[in-house]
Structure 1
Amino acid sequence: MWGKILGALFGLALLKLPGLLIGVLIGHWFDRAFKQQFEKNGGFTGLFNDNLDEQALFRYTTFATMGHVAKATGVVTSAHISQATQFMNQLGLTAAQQKEAQAAFRDGKAVSFPLQPQLNSFYQAYRRRRDVLQLFVEIQINTACVNGQMTAEQYALLQQVAGHLNFSSVQLDALILAFQAQSRFAGRNQPANSTRHSLADAYKVLDVAESASDAVLKKAYRKLMAQHHPDKLMAQGVPADMLEVAKRRTQDIQAAYELIKQQRNRSKL
């Protein structure tokens, strides 16, 4: 229908009445061709299937790459297995989804796992959704830092992963530093007697200098919250059950921002 309408309007504007008739005819051909292609792709059901396929791709690539990162040192430790299991539990996966995730993790551990083709497929699906790609990289960084440290082999593999997803080494290093600061700030992977909320780490979580103005601080906070907002990521194709990572990240960002504001308000008294 829209092809006929637009064709008629353009034809009328260019050639008056003869153009109107020609435009309607061309628009009819366009509408018919579009309808055939749309039905060939499954109509509206096809649109939903594409979304489901993307979500399945996200899950599989996430857990398979986690397995590959865990095996980068040559052996998957009990800590990596425990972390992967804990991660699945945090996501609230169904029994069937947990089996799929475990199978993907095992696939990724294989030396012959085709990492590059898998990441290429993932990138093609999400290349216009930078925030989704960043969430994926952050999950892999979490896997590499399971014991609070990252081996040289895991770092080299993360560089490969980041490169396939169009992240530079500088950008990867910034994400690693932010993740490490976030872990310290939230008290994860730290001794029981360490400071739970470190002001220095709070600034690193927000990726701003301690000398940053209030305006710069607020801008950085809003940008990070927007990047990791669960509703936004779900709209961009991240499965709902994978959003726990983003929720934890936004909680840490919020807590870091509040701590800095409190400290600044005290200094003004």
Structure 2
Amino acid sequence: MWGKILGALFGLALLKLPGLVLGIVLGHFFDQWFKRRLGHWEGLQGVFGQDDEQALFMYTSFAAMGHIAKATGVVTKAHIAQASHFMQQLGLNKQQQKEAQAAFRDGKAVNFPFQAQITEFYQRYKQRPDVLQLFLEIQLSIACVAGQVAPEQWQLVKQVAQCLHISPAALEQLLQAYQAQSRFQQGQAKGADDAAAVVSAYQVLGIKNDVSEQELKRAYRKLMSQHHPDKLMAQGVPAAMLDVAKRRTQDIQAAYELIKQHRAKNR
């Protein structure tokens, strides 16, 4: 209702009677969009039992995933499987998955206000850079579902980073670290040779293989601090999303231990 009222007032002030009609029409569409969005938001808040801040995190995460997945025009089976797998990894029950899927569908809509949603998220979490980075890593997980990022999806990921005030260099480093993490996980599962695993381990930590022991420890501690579940929970990350951080810390720990073993063996 307020959309129509405000639209009518602005339209009348700017364009007289034609503006009044146009303002009412545009206000109507705004009211309908806001009603749908509010319904999903309240649903997420009720289902997850969270405050509005954590509901914002959950809604924005899944809606952005849906928007990025649809960037090429078609949401592939791989993207749907990745989103479903992600929900299962978070331990969401059936009702929670239903609400997350609703947010994902919102994001796929052509008229979804992607930039406005990300900007609103940034305004809420702008004083918590570790949370912003975790959110960006979540979006990378849907963009990199096939190992490579489609140009259209990469443009949206860059837009997310820009809205979150994360530099292009930092985004590129996150992408390389995420892809290295995927290779590292696959290598561990398949029992890949030691040399390839060590290369991926260094990339997971975002460092070169000739760094000093002090630099190695510094990089490791920084990443562990950024992804520490207790720290992120205190900063407003929903409990369900902490599994993402836990898996990341496990990979960081495993990569660090492998590098230390490799260095000790080659002294």
The bucket for the TM-score relative to the shorter chain is: 0.7 to 0.9
Deviations 1:166-208 (A, max 9, x none): 01211111100010011101118x9958558611111111111
The residue number in structure 2 matching 1:180 is 179
Task: Tell me how far 1:95 sits from its aligned partner.
Answer: 2.3
Normalised by the size of structure 1, how large is the TM-score?
Answer: 0.78
Correspondences of 1:1-269 after superposition (within 5 Å): 52-187=51-186, 195=193, 198-268=197-267
- Inter-partner Cα distance in structure 1 for 2:213 and 2:98: 47
Task: Extract unaligned runs of 5+ from structure 2.
Answer: 1-49
Helix, strand or coil: the match of 1:166?
Answer: coil
Q: CA deviation at 1:64?
A: 0.2
Report the secondary structure of 2:266's partner residue.
Answer: helix
Compared with structure 1, are the counterparts of its residues 194 and 75 closer, same or farther at alpha carbon in structure 2 (3 Å cutoff)? Answer: farther
Please tell me whether Structure 1 or Structure 2 has the larger radius of gyration of its CA atoms.
Answer: 1
Shift of 1:94: 2.4
Give the residue type in structure 1 aligned to 2:206: D
Identity rate, percent: 63
Equivalent pairs, count? 217
Deviations 1:56-95 (A, max 9, x none): 0000000000000100111000111111111101101122
Distance 1:119 1:265 in 2: 45
How far apart, CA to CA, are the structure 2 residues paired with 1:111 and 1:171? 29
Give me the whole-angstrom Cα distance separating, in 1, the residues matched to 2:149 and 2:220: 27
> Could you tell me the TM-score, scaled by structure 2's length?
0.78
CA displacement, residues 3-35 of structure 1 (integer Å, 9 cap, x when unaligned): xxxxxxxxxxxxxxxxxxxxxxxxxxxxxxxxx
**Runs of 4+ more than 6 Å apart:** none
In the alignment, the residues of structure 1 paired with residue 159 and residue 213 of structure 2 have an alpha-carbon distance, to the nearest angstrom, of 37
Structure 1 residues 193-237: Cα deviation after superposition (integer angstroms, max 9, x where no partner)? 855861111111111111101111001100000000111101100
Alpha-carbon distance between aligned partners in 2 of 1:200 and 1:167, rounded to the nearest angstrom: 26
